[in-house]
Amino acid sequence: RLVVGYALTKKKVKSFLQPKLLLLARKKGISFIPIDETRPLSEQGPFDIILHKKTSKEWQRFLEDYHEVHPEVTVLDPPNAIEHLNNRQSMLEEVADLNLSSFYEEVCTPRQLVIMKDPSSIPTAVAMAGLTLPLVAKPLVVDGTSKSHELSLAYDEASLPMLDPPLVLQEFVNHGGILFKVYIIGEAIQVVRRFSLPDVNTYDLLNNVGIYRLPRVSCAAASADHADLDPRIAELPPRPLLEKLGRELRGRLGLRLFNIDMIRELGANDRYYIIDINYFPGVD
């Protein structure tokens, strides 16, 4: 019998601990036990695995202290490793350092710029960094709230001071409006297609001004797996590339439960961009 203690938000409990999963777990001899965060972990359990998605410093210390005393318990995943993904500046650093020449595919990250404060300085900072409009603006901190996944698209320089730091600005890359969500659970990899932002052409740049606030992009409701798509856009990234990417990032990030948001540059079938990495994503 395997005992999994879990510390999850109400939203994550509802989406993750589905009746089908719990039934399958029982058949496999796996029990899911909620963790009471008001009591010491040492008074609960015993646990074989602790599965969690909490971001508070207090919880991190709570868990790290427990793991020092009980190193035999598997923690999915270590708080210090998860923390790396809570900041979009550090999130993609490991990807930028990768050398993933696999056959002919190239994996990189969009050029980006971090703005900590003073919105009025954004146009100058963008010009000095040599970034090309349009730019995707994302909150710097990823804290599990829906706000941390909100995006804005800035079409013109004059509108940039309307943005709200701290944030990350990424160059927009045309990608056929399709994003690949690559789920990594241990050594298992699953890929799904999601509708994403539409491509931006010269006409759009000349005729659009301002900041466009966007609802959450690429959520489960935006599935494109059964859509009638151009095969060149719909084709999944090569399996050997994904396996190598998963292996490298597992080692570098120290994580076993995460997903990668990945796009293929339109007209460049061998160039992929990683634009986000999320810990313990929705695995519906």
As annotated, the binding site for Mg(2+) includes 261, 276, 278
Residues 38 and 73: their CA atoms lie apart, in Å, by: 20
Q: Show binding-site residues for ATP.
A: 88, 138, 170-181, 196
Torsion of Cα atoms, 186 then 35 then 220 then 217, to 10°: -100
Binding site, annotated residues for 1D-myo-inositol 1,3,4-trisphosphate: 12, 53, 149, 181, 278, 282
CA distances from 27 to 21, 24, 76, 130, 221 (A): 10, 5, 22, 57, 30
Q: Which residues carry a binding-site annotation? A: 12, 53, 88, 138, 149, 170-181, 196, 261, 276, 278, 282
DSSP string, 1-62: -EEEEEE--HHHHHHHS-HHHHHHHHHTTEEEEE--TTS-GGGS---SEEEE----HHHHHH
